[in-house]
Structure 1
Amino acid sequence: MADARSWWRDPPSPEPSQDVPAFESNPLEESALPSPDNEQLLTRRVHILGLGSIGTLVAHSLRCLPNPPPITLMIHRQEQYDAFKRGGRIINLINKQNGINDEQTGYDVDLFNNNAEDGEARWDFIPDRRREQPQTNPVEEGEKMPSGELYIYTLIVAVKGPTTVAALHSVKHRVDARTTICFMQNGLGQIDELNQEVFTDPQTRPTYMLGIVSHGAYMDAPCTVVHAGYGAIALGICRDPDRFPLPPKGPVRHLWELSEDERKKHHPTDKELFANLSSRYLLRTLTRSPVLACAAFPYLDLLQLQLEKLSANCILNPLTALLDVPNGALLNNKELLPVQRLLLAEISLVIRGLPELEGIPNVQHRFSAKRLEQLFMGVTKRTARNSSSMREDIRHGKKPEIDYINGYIVKRGEQQGIKCALNFMLMQLIKGKNSLRSGAGLPYGTTRIQSEVDPHRLDSVTLADNSTPPRDSIA
């Protein structure tokens, strides 16, 4: 029996009597980035796609900067733009701790037009203009395309995972290799889908930046976000596997044994990953905001932070959604503890076998089931009063992001020959529950099950927590 269960046990520790060590990721030094040169920015404009809690928080925070960049809000629905216009084209940020509401204006809008005269989907640019005054953000030379749309130089994407491919299909003709797209989303795997379905050519593919968000925020009304818990955003460049493939299987070779071409191809430096001027501009713009508290991390450190966050979300999100309970209900529950540990053991096995992490010191202990359980418990305690984003998605009839959370573990497990039966079952249960709540599969005449949640309730917070949040983050 012991041999049959050995697959989910932790790797042996050289000092089993001691606690699992902590692992810190150090921010990227400024010297690791390319030095300023004679390159000229095409435009300072920043586009934001996805005006949920995180997208709205970022839009507000960037307008608070001294000499803020022009910001264009990309809106897919006419009714959402109408609500923005009725509210005076204002974004409100409410500080939950003191109740202060800060208003920011000066936003341009791109409104999606699916019925353009030529039959092609287009974005209508609606500049911010006050009465007889000139445009708040004049269009710079070189921004305007023949279609009348503006070229997208830097883009922040904060849409839900399931809508990522469709959303970026609509802007594909407005980006190229000079563009940088920063993803601030839950889960992993969206970029793989984009490379397969949208940006298929590595030569014209934009640079991808990732943002791991630990702020607590939720929407109180259209264009009004409540900042419920101060956190931080870890930023870094995503390594493109087509441009920089992993080293081939074989004996490990030291860097000094490789030719310069081999080194650049398989072991790019962060300076090389940040070669795109728009990436450095977007990074420096985001890190100027004291509210967002952004910091850049080396690629491999950022990847490990992502996987730590993912491991906690794989337990917290689906279990709270299935049981319809706040996060804290998972604490001190003896019946749920074996379920949590079995899931974490399966997740640990997959992460420790990822080829991206091969050769990194202490990976086996950093992602051991024991340490992942410590991270999960810490996140759950800090967010005990909050409602997970997946629970709220199901309550409001939105498609849950399960394919990019537990589904990512299932996919990466299959690539290694690991059958993740527990994560697969949890993924299907979430999809089944969402299908039932939307009315699919119910007998004829049965009405859709209505949500009991009050969208304005203050304890319904969507918190994208990080494994190492600041001490001031909310509990």
Structure 2
Amino acid sequence: MAASRSWFEESPSPKSLEEVPTFESKPLEDSELSEPNEEQLPSRRVHILGLGSIGTLVAHSLKCLPNPPPITLMIHRAEQYEAFKRGGRAISLITKRHEINDQQTGYDVDLFEGSSEDGTSRWRFIPDRLYNEPQTNPIEPAEETQSGELNIYTLIVAVKGPTTVSALRSVKHRVNAKTTICFMQNGLGQIDEINREVFTDPETRPTYMLGIVSHGAYMSQPCTVIHAGYGTVALGICRDRDRYPLAPKGPVRHLWELSEDERRKHHPTDKELFANISSRYLLRTLTRSPVLACAVFPYLDLLQLQLEKLASNCLLNPLTALLDVPNGAMLNNDELLPVQRLLLAEISLVIRGLPELEGIPNVRHRFSAKRLEQLALAVTERTAQNSSSMREDIRHGKQPEIDYINGYIVKRGEQQGIKCALNFMLMQLIKGKNSLRKGAKLPYGTTRVSSESDPHHPDSVTITDESTPSRGSVG
């Protein structure tokens, strides 16, 4: 039986499969891989920004590939780089099921050195090599710049939502229209902010890819990630609404009734969205990893998968963070069930009215409150022993991603004239709790938040009511 082939794969012209040139076998600038007018891949190097659990998992998984691409870890803090050096410049992955510890080395580093007076950020490239030995990952000509920094052509972003804009501002001068950025983050709405505040010109804007990660992973120490649960990564291109706006309102027209320019503008194919060669290269590189288990989806399918995950996160993340309980506490709780159903009713109403989904069959059923409840229940049961990322962010004093989860529903609801009161309230409660955990100044001396830790519960805080004198005390 002939093997099926995808549109993003090269057409094999040689007679045998062994002779088929690939990105993996050798760099694309070799003469035998090129045709007279064929676009050249500038570099095989993959940059990774954000070394939390997902960024570290991806960095380790790509290094395990046969003939892996050069990988540069982008590190913002000097102390994090020192920890990386103390660990032998290695990234460790521990499989929780079998307690197997695998180390990978050979990573280059970009170390952030601050910003100049004109706001331009400065990165120092630190190659992987021992003493006077040659670099592990030689620099290709297209990567070099006069400043000594390297151009970025493929970038995986795995930072938290609230830090995405500032993180990408720091690399803006190293990114251009040939670049592809793959976002592996929770929530939605970050790309709208990036287009508004960082890459404002659609003509020079990089191509965006999205990765929806369902792996269970957490950091046990710097540069060591625990792979607690196997999952998948759903990958796809992100449609740039400035370049490819939605079709204007009006009578429905068949594609064959449109001019080619109209069709390309309002109804681009996924092959056209993947026109950037760095996008195809990054896609092929990620899908090579058996650990990541990546699958490629058309843009609209990927968007619907994102929205399904978002709906579940809108319940699990804020409720477990407010109550400070693991995910499984949401199961079989008759008091919380009405709250979850009311939230899902709001979420369902907003999602079903999104203009991006207009004309897609079965949207009303797929995003009905009843089906979203079934999906959320399945996620809760599967992750019952886990602690949600928002709960962990608040417990460790990090800014929660609530603006990109429930906040996204609130914003998209307002665009449709829907007031999402429950999601807004939940968003403000999370922000309020985060302020309390950080010791925010409270009026009238009614409460005091103490950061003194209980030796038996190191993540706890003490809240004391000082508004009423204790019995026997003076006024």
Settle same-fold status: TM greater than 0.5: yes
Task: For 1:43 and 1:350, locate their aligned partners in 2 and report how far apart those are by CA, in whole Å.
Answer: 42
* Residue in 1 that maps onto 2:96: 96
* Residue in 2 that maps onto 1:368: 368
Verify: 1:350 aligned to 2:362, yes or no: no
* Residue in 2 that maps onto 1:380: 380
Q: Give the Å deviation of 1:447.
A: 5.6
Task: For 1:137 and 1:325, locate their aligned partners in 2 and report how far apart those are by CA, in whole Å.
Answer: 45
Consecutive unaligned residues of structure 1, counting only runs of 5 or more, are 1-28, 458-475
Residue identity matched to 1:449: S
Task: For 1:175 and 1:398, locate their aligned partners in 2 and report how far apart those are by CA, in whole Å.
Answer: 28
Q: Give the Å deviation of 1:233.
A: 0.2
- Are the counterparts in 2 of residues 70 and 137 from structure 1 also a CA contact under 8 Å? yes
Task: For 2:405 and 2:296, locate their aligned partners in 1 and report how far apart those are by CA, in whole Å.
Answer: 23
Task: For 1:322 and 1:376, locate their aligned partners in 2 and report how far apart those are by CA, in whole Å.
Answer: 18
* Residue in 2 that maps onto 1:303: 303
Deviations 1:59-103 (A, max 9, x none): 000000000000000000000001001111010000101111000
* Residue in 2 that maps onto 1:449: 451
Deviations 1:329-373 (A, max 9, x none): 011111100000000010000000000000000000000000000
Deviations 1:138-163 (A, max 9, x none): 11112111211000000000000000
Deviations 1:204-226 (A, max 9, x none): 00000000000000000000000
* Residue in 1 that maps onto 2:156: 156
Task: For 2:125 and 2:442, locate their aligned partners in 1 and report how far apart those are by CA, in whole Å.
Answer: 43
Task: For 1:187 and 1:119, locate their aligned partners in 2 and report how far apart those are by CA, in whole Å.
Answer: 29
Distance 1:248 1:69, change over 3 A: same
* Residue in 1 that maps onto 2:321: 321
Pairs aligned (count): 429
Q: What does 1:273-292 align with in structure 2 at a 5 Å threshold?
A: 273-292=273-292
Q: Give the Å deviation of 1:446.
A: 4.8
* Residue in 1 that maps onto 2:140: 140
Verify: 1:408 aligned to 2:395, yes or no: no
Residue identity matched to 2:425: M
- Are the counterparts in 2 of residues 316 and 388 from structure 1 also a CA contact under 8 Å? yes
Residue identity matched to 2:58: V
* Residue in 2 that maps onto 1:25: none
- Are the counterparts in 2 of residues 287 and 295 from structure 1 also a CA contact under 8 Å? yes
Greater Rg, structure 1 or structure 2? 2
- Are the counterparts in 2 of residues 108 and 125 from structure 1 also a CA contact under 8 Å? yes
Distance 1:135 1:363, change over 3 A: same
* Residue in 2 that maps onto 1:24: none
When the two chains are superposed, the root-mean-square deviation of aligned CA atoms in Å is 2.0
- Are the counterparts in 2 of residues 406 and 423 from structure 1 also a CA contact under 8 Å? yes
Q: Give the Å deviation of 1:450.
A: 5.5
Q: Give the Å deviation of 1:253.
A: 1.4
Verify: 1:33 aligned to 2:8, yes or no: yes
Residue identity matched to 2:47: H
TM-score (norm 1): 0.87
TM-score (norm 2): 0.87
- Are the counterparts in 2 of residues 46 and 70 from structure 1 also a CA contact under 8 Å? yes
Q: What does 1:180-199 align with in structure 2 at a 5 Å threshold?
A: 180-199=180-199
- Relative contact order: is structure 1 or structure 2 higher (C-alpha 8 Å, sep ≥ 6)? 1
Distance 1:351 1:447, change over 3 A: closer
Task: For 1:454 and 1:118, locate their aligned partners in 2 and report how far apart those are by CA, in whole Å.
Answer: 49
Consecutive unaligned residues of structure 2, counting only runs of 5 or more, are 12-34, 460-475
Task: For 1:239 and 1:200, locate their aligned partners in 2 and report how far apart those are by CA, in whole Å.
Answer: 15
Q: Give the Å deviation of 1:442.
A: 3.8
